Chain A
């Protein structure tokens, strides 16, 4: 029975493949023949407009409703392609599984012209697959050079070679996780100043727990909430100078942050929080939507998140709790005594567009990104297609935010295509609200003034050939997550941490540390 069905299925799918490929080959012919003619019509001065360059891009979908179907059939991307004289083929990969899907695609030999990444290191770099961009950017990227600050270029430069086009962090900040707190709750419990030390933070959280700040008479407050696999707790650990994603240089060795004594203190703090019910009892299983819902329900007092979402949070709470006058503010990470750098890992880039050695026309790729950095390009990234979602009359921009939001184009367009860190003028128009602008500015300021230096930004991929500690760094390392949760939830004493460190080293950690330290001592000192 089954075998017959499979055969039949295959036969039908075979015919379908044939039919499809016939269709698609027909399709791909049309733009190639039509595009030059429209181009000449648009710019009559050039008699022979160059053929649009085909660019294939892998990017994250940032968990947004991205356009499905062929890239060139989407009006927004079609406009972009026409403007930059390219033929785009953008492949959106699911945000949370991006690394896995990239590995699988590379393994299948599918290496595109451009790949979005988070830094210039990583798999492509380690395998010498990245194109050095210095000359191309000098020649074709004048606008890129103008709008992207040196700190962002530095983050993607290894041995003097620029290996990607960075998007500076929003607001040109230096970290991507800060503390948010319900200021209205603080007012209710009578604490006016943001906590400066871990002890003051505990006092505030205890007050949230005990004094019913949401005023419903029930003890349902969650003073602090975070997400599964110890994500969005960085600033708690950061009070002690290291988080699990940072690295520390100590005694001629480069150590991953999670095995340092600073991190032990952080775990101790988390343990106290759990013991006293100051952290969400479900902090190890909260998925994003559950976590967001809890905050929007008005039962969470404090959380860590991205600085560029300050207004987003306020706006959500305004909508979900219209009677409570919620007030979400960002505050600087408290500082444990004797710690110099607090906060979360220093990141001066949001994302990086890497150009591979497989790129057919690197110059066209750089020109493509350079257009996004022009004033016209920035307006497109922020407001969409002129005449559709915004108009620009003599420098005065009128933005139809409702239309842009309804068309579901506003979020993915800027998340994926933005290459400019901070354009105050455009930000003001985009938020269209003085209070929103102030909130956002304040959060950016917090995030610009703290961070833990990133010692690993140019670290080449480290391989130990040990299954449990295959590389240097965090990457949701199961043995760390397991030990950390057991300590936090009180199943193991805090000193179990030292046992964990020994174990980590014997399972490949020592090898990883040695390789990383050799690299650091020879290139970074």
Chain B
């Protein structure tokens, strides 16, 4: 078991001594420059990736300084005035900020509770299907929605739930029931958004779990069968533990992004009637930053989000390492 787990994650962490000893040997035998010259193709191959992270991830980080400046796009980064923590103070005293923060957390929580397990369950179900043709067909059908844009998904939601022409409304009227204002009612907004997210992404996200499932050695199932384990027992004691590493990693990543609930997904469904439940940090900063050109305060929001995400990721990873022995690093 433990050997198989290692093939997923944490290889260097599990073998700290051997890892270090490779380095030590190198130091003992030859200088760094010579080592690099000897293995130059490897280092050349690493260059594009390093350049990618440098250019697209690390250099833009420097732009975060505008969270502490009164940034004017025509003056530029350097000439804009320093204002210290003014933008963070504005946020903290902003009447709506708590509400928006709450909305973000609630929607994120819904996503973790409902949307996260959905692909796992789907993968487990598909795994139990015997007829390959049926399995493949279902799998293809459920991951198709992934390729639709959110604007299209909204269009389809409109066709279903429009109070004048919607499919659901017409069905309801057959049973003499009043139409439901699903797209305009605050009470349905979060369900609708999270539901649409599950419908769209469930099949696609299941792929990674299906891949993990194929990695479980058939001999384990054979052994379990010999011991007289039922299918349910096999699921509990062979399949699930086999999936655990993948589940833990994805859950950790999701927790790190707890304040990112998917901008497009929310934005297409949002209208003034649902601001009170649906305005989240992403849509709020879009409105402020891009529409009103308030770049500084938007950057402050982004920085705030990143810090929370970072702290959460590190602490949850520690916790996970302690409890399950699995982690990102």
Q: Is there contact, CB below 8 Å, between A485 and B273?
A: yes
Q: Taking each of B158, B183, B275, B292, which has the highest tally of chain A beta carbons within 10 Å of its own beta carbon?
A: B292
Across chains A and B, the number of contacting residue pairs, with CB separation under 8 Å, is 87
The CA-CA distance from A282 to B165 in the complex, in Å, is 11
- For the complex formed, measure the closest distance between the CB of A41 and the CB atoms of chain B, giving whole angstroms: 44
**A394 interface residue, CB < 8 Å from B?**
no
List which A488-515 residues lie within 8 A (CB) of chain B.
Answer: 489, 507
Known A3-B49, A285-B271, A481-B272; contact A100-B297, beta-carbon cutoff 8 A: no
Most buried by A among B45, B94, B287: B287
B182, chain A: closest CB distance, angstroms: 11
* Nearest A residue (CB) for B50: A7
- Indicate if the CB atoms of B272 and A229 lie closer than 8 Å: yes
Would A103 and B294 count as touching, CB distance under 8 A? no
Q: A481: which B residues are within 8 A, CB to CB?
A: 272, 275
Task: Judge if B276 is at the interface, Cβ distance under 8 Å.
Answer: yes
Most buried by B among A107, A129, A486: A107
Given the complex, which residues of A lie within 8 Å of B276, measured CB to CB? Answer: 482
Interface pair A123/B293, CB less than 8 Å apart: yes
B183 with A285: CB separation less than 8 A: yes
Instruction: Flag B265-290 by CB within 8 Å of A: 1 or 0 each.
Output: 00000011101100100000001101
Q: Classify the secondary structure of A's interface with B.
A: helix
Contact of B232 with A by CB under 8 A: no
> Does A106 have its Cβ within 8 Å of any Cβ on chain B?
yes
- On chain B, the residues within 8 Å of A103 by CB distance are 73, 290, 293
Across the interface, name the chain A residue whose C-beta is closest to B71. Answer: A107
Q: Which of B49-94 contact A (CB under 8 A)?
A: 49, 51-52, 72-74, 90-91, 94
Complexed CA–CA distance, A7 and B47 (Å):
8
Query: Which residues from 282 to 314 on chain B have a C-beta closer than 8 Å to any C-beta of chain A?
Result: 287-288, 290-295, 297
- Chain B residues near A129: list those with CB within 8 A: 74
A227-273: which residues lie under 8 A (CB-CB) from chain B?
228-229
On whether the beta carbons of A99 and B291 are closer than 8 Å, the reply is yes
Tell me the minimal C-beta distance from A7 to chain B in angstroms. Answer: 4
- The distance in angstroms between the C-alpha atoms of A484 and B273, with both chains bound, is 10
Query: Would you call B48 an interface residue if the criterion is a C-beta within 8 Å of the partner chain's C-beta atoms?
Result: yes
A339 at the interface (CB under 8 A from B): no
Structural contact, B272 and A282, CB atoms closer than 8 A: no
Cβ–Cβ contact B52 & A285, under 8 A: no
A481→B275 CA distance, assembly (Å): 10
Q: With contacts A14-B48, A466-B90 known, is A127 near B74, CB below 8 A?
A: yes
Task: Kindly report which residue of chain A lies nearest to residue B76, judged by CB atoms.
Answer: A109
CA distance A100 to B295 in the complex (A): 12
Known A3-B49, A127-B74, A285-B184; contact A470-B273, beta-carbon cutoff 8 A: no
CA distance A238 to B162 in the complex (A): 29
**Within the complex, what minimum Cβ distance (angstroms) separates B319 from chain A?**
25
Chain A residues 1 to 27 lying within 8 A of chain B, measured CB to CB, are: 3-4, 6-8, 10-11, 14
- Quote the shortest CB–CB distance from B53 to chain A (angstroms): 9
B130 interfacial by beta-carbon distance below 8 Å: no
State the CA gap A123–B96 with chains docked (Å): 27
Q: Is the CB of A284 within 8 A of B291?
A: no
- B163 contacts A by Cβ under 8 Å: yes
Question: B271 to A282, Cβ gap below 8 A?
Answer: no
Q: B18 contacts the other chain (Cβ, under 8 Å)?
A: no
B2 within 8 A of partner (CB)? no
Is the beta-carbon distance between A10 and B48 smaller than 8 angstroms? yes
Q: Give Cα A482–Cα B183 distance, bound, in whole angstroms.
A: 15
A282 touches B73 (CB 8 A): no
- Bound CA–CA A475/B48 (angstroms): 43
Q: Is A281 an interface residue (CB 8 A)?
A: yes
B95 touches A (CB below 8 Å): yes
A467 contacts which of B90, B184, B290 (Cβ < 8 Å)?
A: B90
Cβ contacts A to B, 21 pairs, < 8 Å: A3-B49, A7-B45, A8-B48, A10-B52, A100-B291, A129-B74, A229-B272, A282-B162, A284-B184, A284-B272, A284-B273, A285-B271, A290-B158, A467-B94, A467-B297, A468-B94, A468-B96, A476-B291, A481-B272, A481-B275, A489-B273
